[in-house]
Structure 1
């Protein structure tokens, strides 16, 4: 029977076999749910660390220790991650079976590895870098706010970046999130370059970025792909969903909302097969843009809902307003298409981390949530998971700390006509909305303040779906659940409390974000 282990917390040099603390068999937990799809199934398939030892990590250093503690760089391993991984808990670890770094999660010169989130697993301002590696699975994690400029920096600003002889990668049910474009210090959310092949990105959210991702770093970097993108949710992205330089991509059943400048951009001979996607409130969602090196597309079954198109020009060849195929792309694997009309609902129910690893049945329906992996109750080395929040419609008593002198508000984005400050003005007639259906709203103070209860008051109740309450000073998740109202959690001393909306049935309108000590 497979056993789960925790990684030793101390030390930066690890010999093979140094992973410690075997848990009782009853504490062993589920690893990856499902199996690879798309082009990741080709070229021998993608199985990650299947069949190997399973370990639990709560820091980036422990992830690196797990890699370095293997018998060899190809020994299969499943690393279950819980908690917040950041610069403060990620160091370089040395060993014969690894090649790590201090400012990123480094998957370099290795193979046969699975990284899967258990509960809430957030890589905060810390990117995942895959180089000269193969047979890697990443599932059920959030990677957010990775920067290439400013402080701190990581992974060239890519949430997940692959380069230099990489093949057979499956990234599934992840949330890849930025808070702006290149001018704000961010780069791509999902980048592939320098001979990266047989990759699938599925059931993932890519949000609030200037650049969704690329395949090929320049017009001479043409030896990448093929790649599959399916059942992903792109929202508030300026361009590159993806940019394909010379590569072939199969792009089906994705939901694109608020593509601000351009979308799928095959160029320099790149080819995209674009099947049964739903494009909404966007501009130039398909075509060759910003170059005179043409790309090609095969289109069928897509819905274009409130999509605008620019006129063709020397460096601008949009596929619309009535896209027709100009090539054909053969697909070597089996797949089932949802009808494009139901793609928004299916993708919203399945995409991203912490959605129960649900997937489409291919009939405009979804599977039930997978069981959550068990968190061990072993003592000091055991990771903690956010407690289930206590929710109540009853108005809390005591002082609303959001109205205290010096309290402020900020967030990840705001819709036109709304303001962060509206959530702390004691008025139910003003409100904040994110620029899409998800986003962060925070209350902050100039000095440490103890909070154990919040009250989120919606203008229209029932719009907010799943959420996280986050200690904005540390990134720790204090509570998670669904709906708004009164939410209680362990008393926390902090300078910032964030309410993170991860799913909603429409555009949330938060009238007041109240905070209380008890």
Structure 2
């Protein structure tokens, strides 16, 4: 029943926003936002506070995360784990203890409660390693990137889910995260955000979900209807084939999300589920709401949504699209208070707030943004397992810049391999083209639809390269952060903050190389993306 995946890599990891001083890491707002900032259904059933009030521990490996969980006095002792760096299979092992139940191939939050995992420093990336929440409650995950988690191929983790919850899970808040894949089921990936087997009172807010065949589900089958009470708000879904989300039974509140390029279907309400769908913006998408691939109908209540270049399929026995009018078929009562942004400003609000390393900015509810809830002035030593409290000061904290390179030359000798290659990328600004970066003309260019995005050069067979030359076009905004990716594997070849020029890295054989703009002042314009052996 799965459809063909047609994906464009568009990972957008936001500009660095963590505050640090030499030897000291400022306690990020995430840790206290648990009580002041939690929203949606995660506020119900007693609320979601995560590890608030518990010990603050730093971790730069998956093993350190597991060790922090296992060193607690009990499985319910509150703890805040501040994560930095890249977490992967190579640094994630099983750790044993009376207060934990961990595994080597995933971050395992199993049979525990009262935990916050929050990214700090220059960012936290869970690379090809998912987070699994099972038989647990009161969990917060904030300000992290989880990418390229696979269920087939190598390596595998968490059944292919970036974040997966199952078996009596209660009160989870996932906020300001990036959930990224690089393909659909045929490429080894599954869902980005899945809930099943009695998972309830969950909120996903201010997050980005990209480049996946499956955005996520609530309920694994038509008989798994014990899940629900889930809120999705101010999230970006981009280049997703389906399941944004797939809802089987239960209730979901879906508001102020920005949906771009839903390739096959979007919100799929099935098996008696009810979805309240308010003030979302749907763009360049197909069948954004309805009951799809089944005759077990679900229901929806809609208001204030904007449809921008949305197409609809015909109604059939197993296909019941809500469009073109998207009329309500039920009513849904929401037990918590919330304020809706007008759908017309959702794209700009979501662009400013959604994802990791965005400074925890949130919507004011009136088409503007503000910093997220902040904690009391507390700083913590960045040594594992210790916490130091300091008085508040009025001095502004120092911001750690992205990894920087020395000034790069603007020309390079040799054959520009891009001239005979193809090109693709993330969403592009009107009037620009991917092919412009390989036409040998610096006056034509590609520009992302926002300030960040990706542009790729690709070949039909493996090609060895060790240098690229990024040549900005006239009028380009200043690039303040970038990464070069092996798009075949998702590996980061190098990163930096220079505004273009020649970038060198270890010689690599690949079919596709990606230049990812992670931060920019203004709109960047890439005139030429040259590649060299």
Name the TM-score, length of structure 2 as normaliser: 0.79
Equivalent residue in structure 1 for 2:308, among 305, 308, 312? 305
Deviation of residue 310 (structure 1)?
A: 1.2
Structure 2 matches for 1:288-299, cutoff 5 A?
288-299=291-302
SS at match of 1:299: strand
**What stretches of structure 1 of length at least 5 have no aligned partner?**
1-22
Return the alpha-carbon distance in structure 2 between the equivalents of residues 85 and 401 of structure 1. 37
Equivalent residue in structure 1 for 2:244, among 199, 221, 241? 241
Deviation of residue 29 (structure 1)?
A: 2.3
* Residue in structure 2 matched with residue 260 of structure 1 by the alignment: 263
Relative distance call for 1:401 and 1:475 in structure 2 (3 A) is farther
Deviation of residue 285 (structure 1)?
A: 0.5
SS at match of 1:61: helix
- 1:146–1:155 Cα contact (<8 Å) kept: yes
- 2:94–2:102 Cα contact (<8 Å) kept: yes
Deviation of residue 499 (structure 1)?
A: 3.0
* Residue in structure 2 matched with residue 100 of structure 1 by the alignment: 102
Return the alpha-carbon distance in structure 2 between the equivalents of residues 446 and 195 of structure 1. 48
Relative distance call for 1:144 and 1:418 in structure 2 (3 A) is farther
Matched, 1:513 2:529: yes
How large is the RMSD of aligned CA atoms in angstroms?
4.0
* Residue in structure 2 matched with residue 399 of structure 1 by the alignment: 412
Equivalent residue in structure 1 for 2:229, among 207, 226, 229? 226
* Residue in structure 1 matched with residue 181 of structure 2 by the alignment: 178
Structure 2 matches for 1:336-355, cutoff 5 A?
336-355=339-358
* Residue in structure 2 matched with residue 63 of structure 1 by the alignment: 65
- Residue by residue, what CA displacement relative to the aligned partner does 1:337-384 show, whole Å, maximum 9, x if unpaired? 0011100100011001111110000010000478899796779x9xxx
- 1:247–1:269 Cα contact (<8 Å) kept: yes
Equivalent residue in structure 1 for 2:329, among 326, 342, 359? 326
- Residue by residue, what CA displacement relative to the aligned partner does 1:220-264 show, whole Å, maximum 9, x if unpaired? 000001100000001111111001001200000001111111111
Relative distance call for 1:292 and 1:465 in structure 2 (3 A) is farther
- Residue by residue, what CA displacement relative to the aligned partner does 1:59-80 show, whole Å, maximum 9, x if unpaired? 1111111111111111111111
Return the alpha-carbon distance in structure 1 between the equivalents of residues 529 and 28 of structure 2. 36
Relative distance call for 1:216 and 1:480 in structure 2 (3 A) is farther
Name the TM-score, length of structure 1 as normaliser: 0.82
Deviation of residue 214 (structure 1)?
A: 0.4
Return the alpha-carbon distance in structure 2 between the equivalents of residues 374 and 420 of structure 1. 45
Equivalent residue in structure 2 for 1:146, among 149, 168, 179? 149
Matched, 1:113 2:128: no
Relative distance call for 1:254 and 1:516 in structure 2 (3 A) is same
- 2:476–2:522 Cα contact (<8 Å) kept: no
Return the alpha-carbon distance in structure 2 between the equivalents of residues 374 and 443 of structure 1. 45
* Residue in structure 2 matched with residue 457 of structure 1 by the alignment: 471
Higher normalized contact order (CA 8 Å, seq sep 6+, divided by chain length): 2
* Residue in structure 1 matched with residue 81 of structure 2 by the alignment: 79
- 2:410–2:471 Cα contact (<8 Å) kept: no
Return the alpha-carbon distance in structure 1 between the equivalents of residues 414 and 380 of structure 2. 33
- 1:386–1:479 Cα contact (<8 Å) kept: no
Return the alpha-carbon distance in structure 1 between the equivalents of residues 346 and 490 of structure 2. 36
Return the alpha-carbon distance in structure 2 between the equivalents of residues 375 and 424 of structure 1. 48
* Residue in structure 1 matched with residue 27 of structure 2 by the alignment: 29
Deviation of residue 96 (structure 1)?
A: 1.1
Matched, 1:439 2:454: yes
Relative distance call for 1:502 and 1:302 in structure 2 (3 A) is farther
- 2:443–2:474 Cα contact (<8 Å) kept: no
Return the alpha-carbon distance in structure 2 between the equivalents of residues 152 and 85 of structure 1. 13
Relative distance call for 1:30 and 1:327 in structure 2 (3 A) is same
Return the alpha-carbon distance in structure 2 between the equivalents of residues 304 and 419 of structure 1. 25
Deviation of residue 500 (structure 1)?
A: 2.0
Equivalent residue in structure 2 for 1:278, among 276, 281, 284? 281
Deviation of residue 289 (structure 1)?
A: 0.7
